[in-house]
Amino acid sequence: MTLQRYNQIAIAILTTAVLIGALVLGVCAIFSILKPQHAQEGVKVAAQANTQKPRQNLVLCMPATVPGSDYEYVPVGAVVERNAAKAPMIRSDLKAAEGYSSTFGDCQFGAYNAGGRIYNAVVRNTRTGEERLLLNAPGQIAGLQVPDDKCKDGEGAMPCGMLLWSIRSADTNHDGLINGDDAVVAYSSDLAVSRLQQLTPDGATVLAQTWNLRDKRLVFQIRWDTNEDGRYTEEDGSELVETDATKPAMTKAALSREVTDKLKAGLH
């Protein structure tokens, strides 16, 4: 092969390589223009959320009263216009909600759809006209116990001058809702509700309560979610806690540790 022929072949190869390289670069440039641009690493781009919420209407229920007191306690509920199943965050069990009455029957503490829609209360002094909200943030008021007019004789559910509130204020099973599956915590107050005193621990739900005039004790049956399945069922068991009714404070175990340990040992 002559030197001239060799140079011709080399030039042809080089020219072809340049053309191919230019073509590749051109194609890459086109694809880089057409390719969608991504967000920077670590920044998540979310679709615009629909922030429109269904309209809700207040349901002001008939007040609870205490004989001889100037105070009354107005349960405040809510109902979603046209569709009760859309109630956000604060709602009762949907099966119960399906049959709610347009007249709001049983509209009271612990009754309006099992208390599922009573999310606050107004404490009202009928003599002075003072009005205050019970809760600073929406929860569920599952019940209110007021003293009987014969409380001095030990009758009724509560000692004289004391109110017992049953409140769900936390999403204890972390399902995004405050409803009947969450823990009911007991609180006491005076008739003016100057403050709420928590009586039972967070995370435990109240099953029953009683008081005794003779030894002045408030006793509660409570249940923990011992198997951590997000529900309070019979398989979780229960325990008894108590406090002094004359100076209510956070309850303590009603039975000694020694006795409960012996009871547990008998199960094995």
pTM, two decimal places: 0.71
**Do the domain assignments include residue 45?**
no
DSSP 86: G
Q: Who has greater pLDDT, 6 or 107? A: 107
**Do the domain assignments include residue 28?**
no
Q: What is the pLDDT of the chain when averaged over all its residues?
A: 76
CA distance 222 to 202: 11
Q: Which residue has the tokens 């204020």?
A: 169
**Do the domain assignments include residue 49?**
no
Winning range, highest mean pLDDT, from 4-18, 90-104, 138-152: 138-152
If one counts every other C-beta atom within 10 angstroms of the C-beta of residue 197, the result is 16
Asked if residue 107 has pLDDT above 90, the reply is: no
Element (H, E) at 27: helix 3-34
Asked if residue 106 has pLDDT above 70, the reply is: no
Give the list of residues 6+ apart from residue 61 with CB closer than 8 angstroms, or none: 74, 75, 76, 77, 104, 107, 108, 109, 112, 118
**Do the domain assignments include residue 37?**
no
Element (H, E) at 208: strand 204-212
Dihedrals phi, psi of 15, to nearest 5 degrees = -65, -45
Which residues are 217's β-sheet partners? 212, 244
CB 233 within 8 A of CB 224: no
- What is the structure's pLDDT at 31? 42
Q: Please report which confidence band the pLDDT of residue 92 belongs to, taking 50, 70 and 90 as the band edges.
A: very low
**Full domain range(s) for residue 207:** 56-265
Q: How many domains does the chain have?
A: 1
Q: Who has greater pLDDT, 33 or 267? A: 267
Element (H, E) at 252: strand 252-253
Q: Who has greater pLDDT, 70 or 103? A: 70
Strands 204-212 and 131-133 come out as unpaired
**Do the domain assignments include residue 250?**
yes
**Do the domain assignments include residue 143?**
yes
Winning range, highest mean pLDDT, from 17-26, 85-94, 182-191, 254-263: 182-191
- What is the structure's pLDDT at 25? 54
- pLDDT tens string 121-174: 999 999 999 999 999 987 888 889 999 888 888 888 889 999 999 999 888 888
Asked if residue 18 has pLDDT above 60, the reply is: no
Asked if residue 45 has pLDDT above 70, the reply is: no
CA distance 209 to 191: 19
Residues in the chain, overall count: 268
Query: 3-class DSSP state for residue 157?
Result: coil
**Do the domain assignments include residue 10?**
no
**Do the domain assignments include residue 244?**
yes
Winning range, highest mean pLDDT, from 103-117, 149-163, 165-179, 189-203: 189-203
